[in-house]
Every structure is written in C-alpha cells, then in structure tokens.
Structure 1
Amino acid sequence: MPRILITGSTDGLGRAAALSLLEDGHEVVVHARTEGRLTAADDLIGSGARSVIGNLANLDEVHDLARQANAIGVMDAVIHNAGVINGPVLAVNVVAPYLLTAALDRPGRLIYLSSSMHRGGSPDLTGADWGGDDGRHSYSDSKLFVTALMAAVAERWEGTIAHAVDPGWVPTRMGGPSASDDLRLGHVTQAWLAVSDDPEALTTGRYWHHQRVETPHPAVYDTGFQEQLLEELAEHTGVGLPTRGR
C-alpha cells in the first residue's frame, strides 16, 4: 500500500487525513513539531502510523526531518499540510515545503496545502524574510508562493505528480470557530489525491477545491515568477531544487 507522509498531522486537517488514510489501509507517517506534540498522535501510532519530528520554522530541524523520513523509506506521497497564519509564515508555509521537496527521496506525488486567500497575495518577493517574521509578507502571500512552488515542481519534474489544494475555511485551531465550511470535507481532497488512480488525480499541476479543479492566481503559472521564487529559496536554504525529468 502507498506510504504517505503528512506534515502537521497531530491535529486539524492533517490528523483527519492521517486517520482516513490509515482506516483505508495505507501506510502513514505522521509529523509533530516536538516530542511533546507527538503524544497527540498516540492513537494513530497505535494504529500503525510511523512518526517523524521537527520544527518547520527551523532549517536544521527540517533537514533532520527529511533524514528521518528518508530512513523510513521512499514516500509514495507527501501532503504538505502544516501551516501557520501568523508569525513565521514564509518559513513554515513556503520554505519548509520547498526544502522537504528538495531533500526527500523522490516521492511519486506531492500535495501542497493552499488557500483561497492566495488570490489576495502579491507576487512580490522584495525583501522577503524567509527565516523570520518582519510582517512584510502575509499569509495570503505565503499561500500564493507555495501554490507557485507546486506549479514549478509540476513543470520541472516529469514522473512526479504535484497538486495544490484549498481545503476551505474550516473550524480547525487555525481556522477558528467562526469558519463556515464543512470540517468533514476539509481533508478529503488531499487524501484522495495522495492515493487515487482517477485520471483527474493523475494529471499534474492543478489547483483543487473539494475535488474540483479551479483557476488559481495568474502568477501561479508564471514561469518567470516561479524561477525567481526557486532562486530565492535556493539561496536562503543553500539547497537547489534538483533537476528531475523536464
């Protein structure tokens, strides 16, 4: 059965996706920020999930997280679920998915969590504080950037399927109690994309909402913006995106 790594899987949508995939008989690798946070996934681990630990805001810990995951084996899919709405949004929402994409042994599928709010983001990387929180770039910017990262990977890596998913505004810890979308649907699309043999799920480079393809911000498919983003992330992390395929 496919092996799926899900970042940020101790609560919210990540946990829901992990539980769903475990119940369907898939091999799941859950991720927690710290050893203490991992206790929230004890039931998942008791049901057969493996685990990795690392703070996604810390480059050294992201490197170590990749080493832990590679030691388990090649992932068939990675769901880049973890995210923050305040604080180091670029570090967690963009840099960590980029570095894990570059450092993990090549998975067959990559699913990046986006947001409808990415459409309010600006494709302006000027003064980006990739490792901190200077307030210059917003959550919306970070989700635009990670959606463009998805498109860049889809364009450049033949044989790897990459998608971005808007899970909706759901009442998780990050979404808050006022969120109006159905929590039960929030994890379904990314879990489906990780394992489905549906031809739609196997067509790379798409932006999804509730198992329907939507049109993202025009900058997502702008190859010039993609190149600039990859260059800045490579400079910040010291790790370039390997050439695989195209």
Structure 2
Amino acid sequence: MEHTVLVTGSTDGLGRLSAESLLADGHHVVVHARNGSRAETLSDLVDRGATLVTADLADARAVWRLAGELGGSGLTAVIHNAGVLSGPDVLPVNVVAPYLLTALLPDVRRHVVLSSGMHRGGSASLDRIDWHTSTGSSYSDSKLFVTAIAAALPRLRPGVVAHAVDPGWVPTKMGGAGAPDDLEAGHRTQDWLAVTDDPDAETPGYWYHGERATPQAAVRDPAFQDALLAALADVTGERIRRSGAPD
C-alpha cells in the first residue's frame, strides 16, 4: 500500500535518510526544508517524485501556513523529525511545531515523533516555561514533552496511532561525527512505523531500534499529559480535537 508521508527536517541527517528510504519503497513523500536556500538540497528527491514544502518551524505563523498547505494533500503519516539541540528555538521547533501540526492536521492517522534517550533527564515541571524562546528549558525537557504528546494522542483521537522513537546517538550534524550509534538503524524504526500494516505497530509505544522500550514515567501520566496539552493550547490558541469534531 502506498502512503503519503511528511518528513519534517528532510534536508539532512535522519530526516533525509527517511525521505530517501520511503521514496525508494514506493511511497509518496513530502519533504520539508526551513527555507528556499535549504530546499535546494532536496532537488534530487523532488526529481524522484517528492513534493517539497518550506516553512520555518520556529515561527508558529509559518507552521499554520504549512498546515493549511497540507490540509488537502492526503497525508497518511507525519514523521516529526525536525529538531534543534540548543538555543532559543528548542521549544518552538521541538515541541510547539509538532504540537501545532498534529492539532491542525486532524485527518492524519499516524504520527511518529523523534524522541531521544535524553528525555529521561527532562523535567516534568511546566512552571515558568517560555514556549516562545525556550528560556529555562533544555533539549531533554523538549524531548520529554514531545514524547508525552505522542503518548496522549491516541487517547484524544481514537483510531490515530502515535509513536515516539529514540534514534540513538548517531553521527549526524546534531549528533557529531564521533557518535557511536548505528546511523542506518537510526532511521529505520520511524520509517517502518509510518507505513507498516503490522498489527504490533497499531499499539502506540516508545521505540529504540525496532524494539519497544520504557520511557520516563511522566510520559504515560495522564495528568502530566493533560497539563502539557493545556499549556500548549493556551500558548498557541489551538487544541488537539478529536477527528471530525467541531471547532
């Protein structure tokens, strides 16, 4: 079965590898770049049939525009791959953007978020968070938050499948050339989860290299999930509604 998959942050690293792999397997892939200059690196994938979109995911207005552009595209899955390690855009890119895309694309049945083993060191405190600048929050916090969003989604949208994947410490631009983990294994799990018909993948989970793993306890805490989602709804003005539910 052919799927239509959006891969955010497709210009390099794990996102690029996912896009290449899904295209090779015969799926329709929507590749994403931050801006026109970065988009030039995706020209070969576009030549192979990929659809190109651009948006600066640190800018919530650009995320809204992107969601509007994708609303009628028949997306079946989103791999929320784009991420930054440090700086003021950690929360906007790593958490707010995937939250907004999920909220604004209610008909997408599968969401796969890129987590990290570092989420286990994240703080579940939501006090004094500045979602616009990442002040006071870390990369580990951001990965805890986005992992919890994925865990909450099937409860909010019955029939939707969501997973979080730890790709490992792999040698990408973010991970560094000396990273010890397997780059190939680093993207295979999210690729599989986005398109597989395996019944085991219908049950949401947290994954590492093709195997289910155990996330930090806060990820599965409905009270923490609800508090996080309420904070994001407040800052964005958009909440995750059930598919087909009225505004």
Do the two structures share a fold, i.e. TM-score over 0.5?
A: yes
Q: Where do residues 43-82 of structure 1 align in structure 2 (5 Å cutoff)?
A: 43-71=44-72, 73-82=73-82
The match for 1:138 is: 138
In 2, Cα distance between equivalents of 1:230 and 1:245: 19
SS in 2 for 1:186: helix
Asked if 1:220 is matched to 2:219, the reply is: yes
Cα deviation for residue 133 of structure 1 reads: 3.3
Matched, 1:162 2:170: no
Unpaired stretches in structure 1, ≥5 consecutive residues = none
**Runs ≥4 in structure 1, deviation > 4 angstroms?**
none
TM-aligned CA deviation for residue 70 of structure 1? 1.7
Q: How far has the Cα of 1:155 moved from its partner?
A: 1.8
Per-residue CA distance 1:125-176 (angstroms, 9 max, x = gap): 1111101132x11000000000000011022211110000000000100111
In the alignment, is the contact (CA less than 8 A) between 2:6 and 2:31 conserved in 1?
yes
CA contact (8 A) 1:74 1:105 kept: no
Scaled by the length of structure 1, what TM-score is found?
0.96
Give the letter aligned to residue 63 of structure 1.
Answer: W
Q: Which residue of 2 aligns with 1:176?
A: 176
**How far apart, in 2, do the equivalents of 1:193 and 1:91 lie?**
25
* 2:33 counterpart of 1:32: yes
Residue 185 of structure 2 is matched in structure 1 by: 185
Q: Is the 8 Å Cα contact of residues 112 and 146 (structure 1) preserved in structure 2?
A: yes
Alpha-carbon shift at residue 243 of structure 1 (Å): 2.5
Alpha-carbon distance, 1:74 to partner: 2.3
Moved more, 15-24 or 152-161: 152-161
Q: Distance in 1 between matches of 2:30 and 2:156?
A: 26
Q: Is the 8 A contact 1:35 1:53 kept in 2?
A: yes
**Alpha-carbon distance in 1 for matches of 2:134, 2:196:** 37
Contact 1:156/1:245 (<8 A) preserved: no
CA distance in 2, matches of 1:65, 1:172: 26
Give 3-state SS (helix, strand or coil) of 1:187's partner.
helix
- Give me the whole-angstrom Cα distance separating, in 2, the residues matched to 1:78 and 1:43: 21
SS at structure 2 position matched to 1:45: helix
**For 1:190 and 1:228, how far apart are their aligned partners in 2?**
27
Displacement of 1:223 in angstroms is: 0.5
2:239 corresponds to which residue? Answer: 240
Alpha-carbon shift at residue 244 of structure 1 (Å): 3.6
**Contact 1:157-1:245 at 8 Å conserved across structures:** no
Deviation at 1:105, TM superposition (A): 4.2
Counterpart AA for 1:177: A
Q: Classify the secondary structure of the residue corresponding to 1:57.
A: coil
Where 2:200 maps in the other structure, the secondary structure is: coil
Distance 1:245 1:151, change over 3 A: farther
**C-alpha RMSD of matched pairs (Å):** 1.3
- The one-letter code of the counterpart of 1:211 is G
Query: Is the Cα–Cα contact under 8 Å of residues 121 and 141 in structure 1 kept in the other structure?
Result: yes
1:46 & 1:37 partners in 2: Cα distance?
A: 16
Contact 1:170 1:181 in 2 (8 A): yes
Aligned to 2:100: 99
SS in 2 for 1:9: coil
* Contact 1:112/1:163, CA 8 A, preserved across alignment: yes
TM-score normalised by the chain length of structure 2: 0.96
Instruction: Say which SS state the counterpart of residue 201 (structure 1) adopts.
Output: helix
Q: Secondary structure at the match of 1:216?
A: coil
How many residues matched?
243
1:116 aligns with 2:117: yes
Contact 2:106–2:244 (8 Å) recurs in 1: no
Q: What do residues 205-225 of structure 1 show as CA deviations (whole Å, max 9, x unaligned)?
A: x00000100010000010000
